[in-house]
């Protein structure tokens, strides 16, 4: 087992990995940019080193500097988390060359599955269902003819893409050429690679992913599926496990296909095989993410398996500690990404300082967060503040628990999506499990913030915060929340607060 691990990341995922290491009795080293000097992960780690300026390309994306720190601190492993260098094959190779384990899949597996065109070719060879589309990169001079053959609506996707970058949905030929130019330009800017491919757009699709784990001895298992259809700008907002739209038969088939694909590239560590599924449960390979996912906690909640610990163990050479036959689904879990953004304004990021934070607690509630009073949200990084996860005995129980937890969650000083998420939990289509990736677009009423809510938030902030210290000023009752305080002084019902 490792003696000391460097976490090449920031925020809640760095905190999550540090906690796993502490339970495994492994020393930890944090790295931080100038903007993250006072962050929680810096204070939690055994050692911490500054690696540069606030922009990612000045710090978290400079692999050579991170390896220098790892060697200086005598680390024997580097965990990349997600994002940044987590799917960078060159960085993984450099770690190994410097005799430091990269806690993730091999560089070859990252290279093969990280490119969407190559991964489609591998999936096709493994007889994995594919969305009809181009076999490889589409060239400018053939793009129009290819589009006509595939038919509309269609999707243009960056080969090296992720997070919705370099992606365009095109409904008609008159919009195609301009959309192609925009997708290629965005892909070049985001990934330094303007290669794109085209595939048919599946109507009202669900986004379903299978969590897999592999070791270096050839063993691969799956931990069932996650539903990731609630998205804005092609980025996930709410995830749940298991999916309310996947039958037992489809679940078993998806799992077997995901394991088969992972074995095809000798995969080790945590990863996900992502599918797009229509409303009749026909599913098609989308991509493979060769890293731990943001939404991994909901799988941990229904299986009882610590995915981050398993990553560390198998990377050190240990076999998987569980077998497929021993894994079952217990209950239902939901994750909401709490973000500093304005849902009423196309989810635009909302930088600023969190003047007061109160995280929900109670049975079945988990908050993966790096928040604290005075935490500053900058424009340098993703606006996600935390991940609120709940577990229930079934989906209905989990939804009710999430609503309760969201009502307890307080973030003052920033615009957040808490109100939107709370209204989502009340939506009849969401409750019934009628989901697809266009859900938010179809339910724009959920984005509208009642006027009285803005007034309540302003009054609450003025009442409870001391401008100098940022501490609760007048009410010492530990059960106090500003929402309860205001409710006692208004005719508004508890439900109308959100």
In whole angstroms, give the CA distance from residue 290 to residue 293. Answer: 9
pLDDT in tens, 184-235: 999 998 888 999 999 998 989 999 999 999 999 999 999 999 999 999 988 9
Spatial CA neighbour of 103 closest among 343, 318, 377, 311: 311
How many CB atoms sit inside 10 A of residue 49's CB?
18
Which residues of the chain does CATH 3.40.50.20 include?
Answer: 4-103
Q: Are 155 and 169 in contact (CB under 8 A)?
A: yes
Q: Which of 291, 337, 395, 401 is catalytic?
A: 291
Mean pLDDT value across residues 58-78: 98
315 Cβ neighbours under 8 A, 6+ residues apart: 77, 101, 102, 103, 104, 216, 268, 269
Calculated CA dihedral for residues 69, 85, 208, 230, nearest 10 degrees: 90
Which residues of the chain does CATH 3.30.470.20 include?
Answer: 206-447
The DSSP line for 211-240 is EEEE-TTS-EEEEEEEEEEEEETTEEEEEE
Q: Cα 122 to chain center, whole Å?
A: 25
Q: Are 49 and 29 in contact (CB under 8 A)?
A: yes
Assess if CATH 3.30.1490.20 describes domain 132-200.
yes
Q: Is 37 noted as a catalytic residue in this protein?
A: no
pLDDT in tens, 423-468: 999 999 999 999 999 999 999 999 987 665 555 555 555 555 444 3
Dump strand ranges (E) for 33-91.
47-50, 77-79
Residue for token digits 């731990």?
292
The DSSP line for 393-413 is SSHHHHHHHHHHHHHH-EEES
Tell me the CATH number for domain 206-447.
Answer: 3.30.470.20
In whole angstroms, give the CA distance from residue 411 to residue 59. Answer: 28
| Whether the predicted pLDDT of 33 surpasses 80 | yes
User: 4-7 and 283-289 as β-strands: parallel, antiparallel, unpaired?
Assistant: unpaired
Q: Which of 15-24, 80-89, 119-128, 420-429 has the lowest mean pLDDT?
A: 119-128
Say what the pLDDT of residue 457 is.
Answer: 54
* Structure letter (DSSP) for residue 75: -
Longest Cα pair distance anywhere in the chain, in angstroms?
Answer: 70
Whether a cis peptide bond, with omega within 30° of 0, leads into 367 is no
pLDDT band at 476 (very low <50, low <70, confident <90, very high): very low
Name the architecture of domain 4-103.
Answer: 3-Layer(aba) Sandwich (3.40)
């Amino acid at each position: 087992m490792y003696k000391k691990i460097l976490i090449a990341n920031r925020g809640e995922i760095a905190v999550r990995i540090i906690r796993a290491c502490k339970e495994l009795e492994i020393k930890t080293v944090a790295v931080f940019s100038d903007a993250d000097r006072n962050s929680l992960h810096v204070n939690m780690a055994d050692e911490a080193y500054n690696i540069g300026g606030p922009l990612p390309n000045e710090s978290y994306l400079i692999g050579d500097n991170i390896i220098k720190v790892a060697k200086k601190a005598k680390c024997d492993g580097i965990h990349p988390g997600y994002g940044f260098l987590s799917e960078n094959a060159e960085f993984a190779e450099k770690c190994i060359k410097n005799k430091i384990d990269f806690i993730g899949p091999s560089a070859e597996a990252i290279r093969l599955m990280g490119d969407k065109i190559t991964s489609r070719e591998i999936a096709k060879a493994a007889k994995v269902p594919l969305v009809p589309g181009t076999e490889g990169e589409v060239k400018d001079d053939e793009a129009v003819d290819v589009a006509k053959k595939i038919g509309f609506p269609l999707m243009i996707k960056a080969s090296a893409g992720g997070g919705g970058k370099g992606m365009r949905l095109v409904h008609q030929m008159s919009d195609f050429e301009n959309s192609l130019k925009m997708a290629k330009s965005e892909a070049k800017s985001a990934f330094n690679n303007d290669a794109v491919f085209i595939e048919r757009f599946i109507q009202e699709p669900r986004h379903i992913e299978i969590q897999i784990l592999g070791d270096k001895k050839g063993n691969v298992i799956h931990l069932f599926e996650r539903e990731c259809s609630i998205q804005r700008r092609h980025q996930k907002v709410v995830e749940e496990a298991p999916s309310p739209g996947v039958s037992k038969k489809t679940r078993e088939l998806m799992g077997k296909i995901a394991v088969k694909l992972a074995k095809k590239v000798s995969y080790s560590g945590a990863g996900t095989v992502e599918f797009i599924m229509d409303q009749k449960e026909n599913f098609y390979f989308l991509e493979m993410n060769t890293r731990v996912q943001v939404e991994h906690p909901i799988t941990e909640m229904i299986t009882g398996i610590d995915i981050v610990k398993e990553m560390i163990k198998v990377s050190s050479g240990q076999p998987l500690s569980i077998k497929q036959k021993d894994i079952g689904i217990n209950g239902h879990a939901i994750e909401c990404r709490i973000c500093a953004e304005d849902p009423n304004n196309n989810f635009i990021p909302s930088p600023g300082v969190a003047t007061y934070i109160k995280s929900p607690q109670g049975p079945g509630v988990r908050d993966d967060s790096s928040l604290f009073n005075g935490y500053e949200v900058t424009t340098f990084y993703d606006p996600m503040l935390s991940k609120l996860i709940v577990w229930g005995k079934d989906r209905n129980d989990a939804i009710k628990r999430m609503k309760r937890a969201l009502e307890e969650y307080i973030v003052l000083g920033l615009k957040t999506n808490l109100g939107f998420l709370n209204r989502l939990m009340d939506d009849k289509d969401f409750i019934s499990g009628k989901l697809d990736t266009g859900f938010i677009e179809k339910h724009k009423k959920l984005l509208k913030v009642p006027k009285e809510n803005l007034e309540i938030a302003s009054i609450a902030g003025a009442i409870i915060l001391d401008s100098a210290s940022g501490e609760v000023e007048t009410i010492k009752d530990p059960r106090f929340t500003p929402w309860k305080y205001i409710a006692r002084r208004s005719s508004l019902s508890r439900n109308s607060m959100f």
